[in-house]
Structure 1
Amino acid sequence: MPFSRRLSRRRFAGLGAGGALAALTAATLGSPGSRAFAASAARKHFKAVVIGSGFGGSVAALRLGEAGVDTLVLERGRQWATSPTEAVFASQERIDGRMFWFRRFASWPAVPPVPVRPQPGVMELSHQKHLDIACGAAVGGGSVVYTGVTLPPPRPYFTSLYPRGLRYDEFAMRWFPRAAAALGASTMPKDVYASAPFTHSRLWDRHMNRAGYAPVPAPSAFDWDVLRAELRGAVRPSAIAGETDFGCSNGAKKSLDRTYLPRALATGHVQLRPLHEVRSVWRGRRGSGYALEVRRMDASGRTVDVDEYTCDLLFVCAGTLNTNRLLVAARERGELPDLPAAVGTGFGGNGDQASLRTSLTDRPGPSQGAPCASTYFFHRRYAQPLRAENWQLLGARGLPVLATFIVTVDHDHRGTFVLDRRTGSVVLSGWGPEHQRASARASREHNAEILAANPGLLSVALDYPFPFTGHPLGGCAVGRCTDLEGRVRGHRGLYVLDGSLIPGNVGGANPSLTITALAERALSHIVAAGG
């Protein structure tokens, strides 16, 4: 009987966020200490290897597992349990090394640069020239540290940015809904929106209304029952307190380790190995398949071993920053010398901007809940098309401050990842302050309009400490470096399915839904075609 049928519905439902993946892994491999476990855990060859467990990697793992493909997911980050009472993750108010991927000093907007212990924390912050790039580093990838907004781009900008073969109607009717359902996205219920921690959301909406705009509810991947439990005092406050950037300790966020990944492991055909960092990729022996150098770490980040893994099919889903690091290095060092010349090009920051405004007449509540309640899209009002989102400020604690997060539609400003021969590192090149001026101008124009309609407001842009993006995109753009299903041109069995597929800009939305939808579409074709 297939594994997925052997696992009863009751047992599956009982695997809470704190132990679901560990329990399913044990069920797949056998009991720790058993011969079956040791043999399975020691395997180094798989039919398919997926690098990364973010949005693209989790989709690949599930759909390959459902197709019966022997699959291994390698994830550099830790697997984090959750707790109804304990602060599992650190935060801007509890600063320590759990926040960051091997940093000696904290580095985050509004966080003092205090010393922290280097360790495999949940967020990598990469200081590139003229831009800080943030990305997730955990089982579940960016879903652990994002703010859950799950929106598609508007039709005109999808059409103008993506290859013609990717039809918006197909995505709107099939792939966006499938992705949103699997991610568990829904809009904030009225009772949560009416609660005290979302006073700031209602005030943000009021400011928009006074300027003549009616925000719409933003679909979000949060568990509203957990938020209700927080409001009742039944579990430790996390989401309603504004925790999100470094994870929600009580499982309030529907991260991928609660959605796609348990379903993938439950197929019985997928293994997940956390704290396994892929350092290089090359062709397998006799030119078939692929080989990988993998650093295995313990929970403190100490190297335990360095192994070679092999596979027939390789899905590179390490996130934009790390997919580009792997592939650009492999091409330039001669490990995969025939990778397309376009690999590494077309990077963009999705037009990310953030701002604060203060209200001299209204108070935004005792805390600012993390889920984004509302959004509004402006097509032709400002220097670039712009989506404004109601954001939150952890630690505001009644201060008269409101945050707005903005993404713009930017067709033009791109950078390139290159290998720095001096250091041996892949770095962002050709990116300067001018690449964000248009999006910053659009943000200022929007803030000025809201301020003009709401006497008593002041505004300030958030550029501390450097220009910043939490939405790195591009470098292996669909239709240029790959076909429409993420197959890398000229390399049979090599796929890219993460944010690097997106051509530098989603088109007026946060990336999570589009990455997931692209991966869902790709895997349906890959499985149907047998590769």
Structure 2
Amino acid sequence: MPIHRREVLGLAGRGTLAGLGAAVLGGAGSRAFAAAASRTHFRALVIGSGFGGSVAALRLGRAGVDTLVVERGREWPVAPRRHVFGSMNGVTDTMFWFRRTTRWPALLPTPVRPAPGVMEVSEERGLDIACGAGVGGGSIVYTGVTVAPPRRYFERLYPSGLRYEEFARTWFPKVRRMLGASAMPGDVYRSMPFTHSRLWDQHLAGAGARTFPLDSTFDWDVIRRELAHAAPLSATVGESDFGCGNGAKRSLTRSYLPAALATGNVQLRPLHEVRSIGRRPDGRFSVEVRRLTTGGAVLGTTEFTCGMLFVAAGTLNTNRLLVAARDRGDLADLPESLGTGFGDNGDQATARSQPLRFHGGSQGSPCASGAFFPDEFDLPLLAESWVLPAYHALPASVTFSVTVDTDNRGTFRYDPRSRRVSLADWTAGKSAAAARSALELSDRVIAANPGMLPVTVKTHPFTGHPLGGCVIGSTTDVAGRVHGVRGLYVLDGSLIPGNAGGANPSLTIAALAERAMAEIVSMAG
């Protein structure tokens, strides 16, 4: 049955990727569906459905490659008339990946039932690492900012085989088009929930900075429906970190993933958590998967095999899988550089209060503006207008910053006693320069705006942008091929050398994956 673009977009807009799969394969009970559901060998297998995995799935599917995508998390529907996710204002079990107590900036610890929620928070040594857990990966839980790093920092970070001109001309625009990224429209910017965005711009201008619009993947039509009270309030009341169930985000479930499934060559299996990878004597890769229910119960395990394995499980989990495979001997030829070069992208958050200024009855979560400071502080810094959900009804202004730190790095190591991989050597000192830079900017803004006071953001050392461990040019070539293991590819944030060069990393991850897949497909591997 041919699947047309209009039908793909309609199914994606309703959040029914499972329905799209059925439309391609035939409904439950059909021979085609039964045969597809029982298969365990595929030419290509993709671990993870985030920015790298979704790109890989689409390009493999369009090249006619028989492909399976396994994703540990759930597929979350778009529900324009009801709430799907929990939030800071209404904690539920759907928020965290198998935690007993919540752990999030400005959120009081709250008991929850362990379940396959949308956000994993891993308490690593010296650093909390947050990453998405659901169909669409980080695109479900990020705040939509879609920006490219400045050229000077890109060229400092990547090998010479990756030319900035090529990315600026081809790969960054290609990803922006696929994701539908655009700046906040004027009518949304002028609305009440974005009063805080306008004040942020005024505060930065008062401190002598030039702000500029940032591209975002929020759906402005859904935001407008929220403003008109025609959709459940989500993005306009500061929700984003744990998903926007009304469709306010253009996540990968509305772009790359439905397009991949519509090729008829790609299957997607949610709630399939990869536990280990190895290689069989016949040369095929072996992927052991734990199958879960939506409530978190284990249904059993399955072994999948493939000839081409694309690991795109996100920085944290890609390192967990590959470092363990190397050190246990399951993939003993993996390079020694694997696990090194981790960084936190210089993530920092600061807050200020100006009690006599009205900040809006609520603070919308889409980021409107940014300002770049290349030379003023210890490290180059991109500051972004932000919101912490706990502050969304308060006269507080939040800045999120990513700093260009090319020096401080950590290492993932395997512990044979616990049989676990963890971040072994991260310390507060490795974030100190980024923290100083962010605080110096905050102090400058406070000094330039009368009546403004600092607000302490109480949180554990934290990053939502873990990067590195399988660094491009070191552990892999420029197309993500892992040195020493033919047929093994890495396509996620672990390719980036610890820092995205003064940018949120989603655009760079997807652009690296697009470039890699173009080369892999053209060369048949």
Which of 85, 88, 93 is matched with 1:89 structurally?
85
Q: CA deviation at 1:16?
A: 4.5
Structure 1 residue matching 2:235: 3-state secondary structure:
coil
Structure 2 residue matching 1:388: 3-state secondary structure:
strand
CA distance in 2, matches of 1:408, 1:330: 32
Q: CA deviation at 1:9?
A: 4.0
Structure 1 window deviating more from structure 2 (518-527 vs 292-301): it is 292-301
CA distance 1:416–1:13, change in 2 (3 Å): closer
Q: CA deviation at 1:397?
A: 5.1
Structure 2 residue matching 1:282: 3-state secondary structure:
strand
Contact kept in structure 2, 1:320 and 1:475, CA below 8 Å: yes
Runs of 5+ unmatched residues, structure 2: none
Does 2:522 align with 1:511? no
**Partner letter of residue 143 of structure 1?**
S
Does 2:406 align with 1:411? yes
Partner of 2:206: 210
**Partner letter of residue 132 of structure 1?**
D
CA distance 1:414–1:519, change in 2 (3 Å): same
Runs of 5+ unmatched residues, structure 1: none
Partner of 1:523: 517
Structure 1 residue matching 2:222: 3-state secondary structure:
helix
Contact kept in structure 1, 2:179 and 2:217, CA below 8 Å: yes
**Partner letter of residue 315 of structure 1?**
F
1:460-494 Cα deviation digits (max 9, x unpaired)? 34341x10000000000000000000000011110
Q: CA deviation at 1:111?
A: 1.3
Q: CA deviation at 1:79?
A: 0.2
CA distance in 2, matches of 1:116, 1:456: 40
- Pairing 1:252-271 to 2, within 5 Å after superposition: 252-271=248-267
CA distance in 2, matches of 1:427, 1:11: 43
CA distance in 2, matches of 1:166, 1:10: 35
1:232-272 Cα deviation digits (max 9, x unpaired)? 11111111111100000101001101111000000110000
Does 2:304 align with 1:309? yes
Partner of 2:66: 70
- Pairing 1:353-432 to 2, within 5 Å after superposition: 353-396=348-391, 398-432=393-427
Does 2:483 align with 1:492? no
Partner of 1:176: 172
Contact kept in structure 2, 1:229 and 1:235, CA below 8 Å: yes
**Partner letter of residue 316 of structure 1?**
V
Partner of 1:348: 343
- Pairing 1:62-461 to 2, within 5 Å after superposition: 62-286=58-282, 288-396=283-391, 398-461=393-456
Does 2:26 align with 1:34? no
CA distance in 2, matches of 1:218, 1:461: 26
Which of 492, 495, 506 is matched with 1:501 structurally?
495
> Percent of counterpart pairs with the same letter?
60
CA distance in 2, matches of 1:362, 1:517: 41
| TM-score normalized with structure 2 length | 0.99
Q: CA deviation at 1:20?
A: 3.0
1:1-42 Cα deviation digits (max 9, x unpaired)? xx6xx1134433432533430111112322112222111101
Contact kept in structure 1, 2:57 and 2:257, CA below 8 Å: yes
Aligned residue pairs, count: 525
Structure 1 window deviating more from structure 2 (422-431 vs 344-353): it is 422-431
Structure 1 residue matching 2:236: 3-state secondary structure:
coil
**Partner letter of residue 522 of structure 1?**
A
Q: CA deviation at 1:170?
A: 0.7
**Partner letter of residue 487 of structure 1?**
R
Contact kept in structure 1, 2:413 and 2:423, CA below 8 Å: yes
**Partner letter of residue 27 of structure 1?**
A
Structure 2 residue matching 1:322: 3-state secondary structure:
helix
Structure 1 residue matching 2:184: 3-state secondary structure:
coil
Contact kept in structure 2, 1:367 and 1:395, CA below 8 Å: no
Structure 1 window deviating more from structure 2 (400-409 vs 25-34): it is 25-34
| RMSD, matched Cα | 1.1
CA distance 1:439–1:529, change in 2 (3 Å): same
CA distance in 2, matches of 1:354, 1:152: 20
1:170-198 Cα deviation digits (max 9, x unpaired)? 11111111111111110000000000000
| TM-score normalized with structure 1 length | 0.97
Contact kept in structure 2, 1:29 and 1:41, CA below 8 Å: no
Structure 2 residue matching 1:329: 3-state secondary structure:
helix
Structure 2 residue matching 1:308: 3-state secondary structure:
strand
Does 2:477 align with 1:467? no
1:82-115 Cα deviation digits (max 9, x unpaired)? 2112110001111121100001111111112111
**Partner letter of residue 319 of structure 2?**
N
Structure 1 residue matching 2:453: 3-state secondary structure:
strand
Q: CA deviation at 1:123?
A: 0.3
**Partner letter of residue 506 of structure 2?**
S
**Partner letter of residue 456 of structure 1?**
G
Contact kept in structure 2, 1:91 and 1:99, CA below 8 Å: yes
Contact kept in structure 1, 2:9 and 2:258, CA below 8 Å: no
Contact kept in structure 2, 1:363 and 1:398, CA below 8 Å: no
CA distance 1:142–1:13, change in 2 (3 Å): closer
Contact kept in structure 2, 1:289 and 1:493, CA below 8 Å: no
Does 2:472 align with 1:483? no
**Partner letter of residue 423 of structure 1?**
S
Q: CA deviation at 1:375?
A: 0.3
Contact kept in structure 2, 1:96 and 1:106, CA below 8 Å: no
CA distance in 1, matches of 2:5, 2:523: 31
Q: CA deviation at 1:338?
A: 1.0
CA distance 1:343–1:16, change in 2 (3 Å): closer
CA distance in 2, matches of 1:518, 1:397: 35
